[in-house]
Amino acid sequence: MNIHPKSLRDRAEATKIKIQNILDISCSGHDDQVIKAIEQAIIEALLEERDRCAVIAFKHSCGEDRDKAHKLADEIKRVRTALVTNLASMR
């Protein structure tokens, strides 16, 4: 088991290498753009999946829990906005 989880950048770099090996190509001169595109795809997939899970949880909550679920969804949206802003500022 990996004690230190891989960063998003590490995962994007590993994916770039796998793609290069599969296609037997080099991204020489474009490594950063390819890695950033992969990072963005990972971020978007994670955010969309998180939103989908929140919707499912909301649909399956009972009446009194819906208010809590709505507040939780608002908090998730707030955190998402902060995350996207922080990630964009790192570029």
* Residue 61: exposure state from Cβ atoms within 10 A (0-12, 13-18, ≥19): middle
- For the entire predicted model, the pTM comes to 0.58
Q: Would the CA dihedral through 14, 6, 38, 33 be positive or negative?
A: negative
pLDDT digits (tens, 9 = 90+) for 73-90: 888 888 888 888 777 776
- Mean predicted confidence (pLDDT) in 2-31: 81
- Mean predicted confidence (pLDDT) in 13-37: 85
Q: What is the 3-state secondary structure (H, E, C) of 35-46?
A: HHHHHHHHHHHH
d(CA 91, CA 6): 19
